[in-house]
């Protein structure tokens, strides 16, 4: 078996920042602490925190008045912020800065009199939060077929924005449909789909055609993980989305496959390690990492957390940042400490071709 690890994969800067915020709050205050919605969309991340005394809530009324609450990486609406103020909650906002950027764009365009077409999935927490910034001027567009039914006041005063975790291909199709119907529609000043989503999708798009199967490590409620599986399938490569190795039926593998392994932006690397270790041990799989891009994006911890750390005289630098760097071997030629690893930039052809 040939096992190819896509690089980059797994945690992005925004997820690192949000997860680290919960870790820091646990370290500073201990349990119980409350998080509004799942901090990130990964079952293992959430359950590990839950086992340590973190309570995830979907209603701020479930948080005792005056206590500390962390907002998840997906962002919240102004209405949620006001609710937190009314309950005198101490808020640490772990919203990904790239999501905040879309919120600010929505506010700016709404104030300038634009109608906003938000490309995204109805009900996704990120979309709900963005919609709340200007609900009277935002319409959600989920697919190209939605475009024909749109009703707008002024087609010359129109802009589109995007959920940060969309499929690049799906988003492109929707944008093309919008531009065909509304030729003067304005695009956002910079890409709304985040760099990590783009890089992980591009890696799968580049490597999947050379593989017999793609395994995406991630949870089913993770939008970016689901998109990785769909992109692999669009390359006519069989794809699986699994939370962890226990969901993989090894009996369906022969040991002669070339398998690409990647992970959604909210999936911890130890889950990838467990999968690689199992395949390596069961099928004597050769492990190779295919490097496609280098990520150096950095996000500071939430401002409220930095302030708390300064007030408490915490020895950690409150301006420290999380960085999503390329995954590397623990030492040259090794993965996870003891699995032989080679690296490449271009994957080989399918084992059966």
Residues 82 and 124 reside in one and the same domain: no
Residue 70 sits in a domain of what CATH number? 3.40.50.11270
Residues 136, 156: Cα–Cα separation, whole Å: 18
Residues 244 and 234 reside in one and the same domain: yes
Number of domains in the chain: 3
**Contact criterion met (CB below 8 Å) for 86 and 108:** no
Nearest to 5 by CA among 351, 288, 198: 288
Residues 163 and 202 reside in one and the same domain: no
pLDDT tens profile 259-292: 999 999 999 999 999 999 999 999 999 999 999 9
In a domain, 201, yes or no: yes
Residues 214 and 337 reside in one and the same domain: yes
**In sequence order, what are the beta bridge partners of 138?**
116
Can you give the pLDDT at residue 345?
Answer: 76
Domain boundary among 125, 146, 181: 181
**In sequence order, what are the beta bridge partners of 239?**
214
Residues 116 and 245 reside in one and the same domain: no
Residues 73, 17: Cα–Cα separation, whole Å: 8
Residues 337 and 237 reside in one and the same domain: yes
Percent helix, percent strand, percent coil in the chain, to nearest 5: 40, 20, 40
Catalytic residues: 126
Decide: helix, strand or coil at residue 69: strand
Nearest to 97 by CA among 64, 75, 118: 75
Q: Show Cβ contacts of residue 47 under 8 Å, excluding neighbours closer than 6 positions.
A: none
Three state DSSP letters for 106-145: HHHHHHCCCEEEEECCCCCHHHHHHHCCCCCCEEEECCHH
Domain boundary among 96, 124, 148: 96
Residues 230 and 288 reside in one and the same domain: yes
Residues 47 and 126 reside in one and the same domain: no
pLDDT tens profile 70-103: 999 999 999 999 999 999 999 999 999 999 999 9
Residues 21 and 104 reside in one and the same domain: no
Question: Phi-psi bin for 257: left (phi > 0), alpha (psi -120 to 50), beta?
Answer: beta
pLDDT tens, the chain, 353 aa long: 999 999 999 999 999 999 999 999 999 999 999 999 999 999 999 999 999 999 999 999 999 999 999 999 999 999 999 999 999 999 999 999 999 999 999 999 999 999 999 999 999 999 999 999 999 999 999 999 999 999 999 999 999 999 999 999 999 999 999 999 999 999 999 899 999 999 999 999 999 999 999 999 999 999 999 999 999 999 999 999 999 999 999 999 999 999 999 999 999 999 999 999 999 999 999 999 999 988 999 899 999 999 998 888 765 554 444 444 445 444 458 898 899 999 987 644 444 43
Query: What are the tokens at 280?
Result: 């390596």
Residues 206 and 283 reside in one and the same domain: yes
Residue 158 sits in a domain of what CATH number? 3.40.1010.20
Residues 268, 54: Cα–Cα separation, whole Å: 18
Residues 332 and 254 reside in one and the same domain: yes
- Residue numbers of the domain that contains 157: 98-181
The DSSP-derived string for 86-113 is HTT-EEEE---HHHHHHHHHHHHHHHTT
* Sheet containing strand 158-162, strands side by side: 138-141, 115-119, 158-162
Q: How big is the chain, counted in residues?
A: 353
**Contact criterion met (CB below 8 Å) for 297 and 324:** yes
Residues 84 and 120 reside in one and the same domain: no
Which residue has tokens 């993965």? 335
Domain boundary among 146, 181, 216: 181
What DSSP state is assigned to residue 192? -
In a domain, 307, yes or no: no
Can you give the pLDDT at residue 328?
Answer: 47
């Amino acid at each position: 078996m040939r096992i190819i690890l896509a690089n980059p994969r797994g945690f992005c800067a925004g997820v690192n920042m949000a997860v680290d915020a919960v870790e820091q709050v646990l370290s500073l205050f201990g349990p119980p602490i409350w998080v509004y919605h799942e901090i990130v969309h990964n079952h293992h991340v959430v359950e590990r925190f839950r086992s340590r005394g973190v309570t995830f809530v979907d209603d701020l009324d479930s948080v005792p008045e005056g206590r500390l609450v962390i907002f998840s990486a997906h962002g919240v609406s102004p209405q949620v912020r006001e609710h937190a103020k009314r309950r005198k909650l101490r808020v640490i906002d772990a919203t990904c800065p790239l999501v905040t950027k879309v919120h600010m764009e929505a506010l700016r365009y709404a104030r300038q009199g634009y109608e906003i077409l938000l490309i995204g999935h109805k009900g996704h927490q990120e979309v709900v939060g963005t919609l709340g910034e200007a609900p009277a001027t935002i319409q959600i567009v989920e697919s190209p077929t939605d475009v024909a039914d749109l009703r707008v006041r002024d087609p010359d005063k129109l802009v589109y924005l995007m959920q940060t975790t969309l499929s690049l291909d799906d988003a492109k199709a929707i944008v093309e449909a919008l531009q065909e119907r509304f030729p003067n529609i304005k695009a956002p000043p910079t890409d709304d789909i985040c760099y990590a989503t783009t890089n992980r999708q591009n890696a799968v798009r580049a490597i999947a055609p050379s593989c017999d199967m793609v395994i995406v490590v991630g949870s089913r409620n993770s939008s970016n993980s689901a998109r990785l599986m769909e992109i692999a399938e669009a390359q006519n490569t069989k794809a699986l989305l699994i939370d962890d190795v226990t969901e993989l039926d090894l009996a369906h593998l022969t040991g002669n496959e070339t398998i690409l392994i990647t992970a959604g932006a909210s999936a911890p690397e130890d889950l990838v390690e467990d999968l690689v270790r199992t395949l390596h041990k069961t099928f004597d799989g050769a492990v190779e990492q295919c490097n496609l891009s280098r990520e150096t994006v950095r996000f500071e911890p939430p401002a409220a957390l930095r302030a708390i750390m300064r007030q408490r005289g915490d020895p950690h630098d409150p301006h420290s940042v999380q960085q999503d760097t390329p995954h590397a071997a623990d030492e040259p030629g090794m993965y996870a400490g003891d699995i032989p690893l080679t690296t490449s930039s271009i994957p080989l052809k399918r084992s059966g071709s």
